[in-house]
Amino acid sequence: MSLFAAAFAWLFDAANWAGTNGIPIRTAEHVLYTLVTLLVAGIIGVGAGLYIGHTGRLKGFAVLLTGSLRALPTLGLLFLFALWLGIGLTPVIIVLAVLAIPPLLAGTYSGIEAIERSTVDAARAMGMTEWQILAKVEIPLAMPLIVSGIRSAALQVIATATIAAYLPLGGLGRYVFDNLSLKRWDAVIGGAIVVTVLALIVDGLFALLERAVVSRGVRAARERGVGDDAVAPPKPAAAEAA
């Protein structure tokens, strides 16, 4: 029997779907770690991205920070925080949040920056305060890119949350790390398959959400530009004379 056939046999074994070590419980733990991480990272990354995108300040620092955070070794950082804070969920959430902040920060300030300045100037000329401009103009228009950043962060966290098994905590990483030393490759590959399927499901949900958060005005403008006459560029005067 091939390794993948053995892995699928492990997946469809009813014994692996029951008890505290069952696939549903481990998946729920994995999702919980992901949600807590996205909440913590979102407060920091999205909040900072909104400030940078709206004010235009600290953009260079943000670019440097996101590049630096992406370069940090995840496992080394995990062991460092585990030695400092002790064994538990806190070091895992901190490390995963460090991983999630760059796409959240970049997606948010890029979404705000992509808005036409004339739109923001028009809102300011109408007497809107800076908070109203941010809440009623910039965030709704930037929401697709913000959701795209959350999507990227969620996928990275789901893939990396398996490191929680090192401390040891729960999650789908238990199947991988617990069975490596035992050379139970069916369980190792089966656990990896479950992580992959979970990531694909989450990716699909966020893809649908990205479409749903496009503002009605932008969607209407796109619909008006569908026809050939609407999208065709105007002919130069010389071409018309010819």
Q: HEC states along the chain?
A: CCHHHHHHHHHCCHHHHCCCCCHHHHHHHHHHHHHHHHHHHHHHHHHHHHHHHHHCCCHHHHHHHHHHHHHCCHHHHHHHHHHHHCCCHHHHHHHHHHHHHHHHHHHHHHHHHCCCHHHHHHHHHCCCCHHHHHHHHHHHHHHHHHHHHHHHHHHHHHHHHHHHHHCCCCCCHHHHHHHHCCCCHHHHHHHHHHHHHHHHHHHHHHHHHHHHCCCHHHHHHHHHCCCHHHHCCCCCHHHHHC
The per-residue pLDDT for 24 is 95
Mean per-residue pLDDT for 221-237? 48
Residues 79-90 have a mean pLDDT of: 85
User: pLDDT band for position 57 (50/70/90)?
Assistant: confident
- pLDDT value of position 235: 47
At the topology level, CATH places domain 3-241 in: MetI-like fold (1.10.3720)
Mapping DSSP onto H, E and C, the string for 60-100 reads HHHHHHHHHHHHCCHHHHHHHHHHHHCCCHHHHHHHHHHHH
Contact 154, 101 (CB under 8 A): no
pLDDT band at 241 (very low <50, low <70, confident <90, very high): very low
CA distance 74 to 31: 19
Q: Is 217 exposed, middle or buried (0-12, 13-18, 19+ CB in 10 A)?
A: exposed
- What is the pLDDT at residue 168? 82
Better pLDDT: 215 or 87: 87
- The stretch 41-54 carries a mean pLDDT of 93
The pLDDT tens digits for 103-144 are 999 999 999 988 888 888 898 888 888 899 998 899 999 999
Q: In the block, which residue shows the tokens 């018309």?
A: 240
pLDDT for the residue numbered 29? 94
Q: Which segment of 42-46, 114-118, 143-147, 149-153 scores lowest on mean pLDDT?
A: 114-118
Q: Which two tokens stand for residue 220?
A: 């209407």
Residues in the chain: 242
Predicted pLDDT of residue 45: 93
Q: What is the pLDDT of residue 222?
A: 59
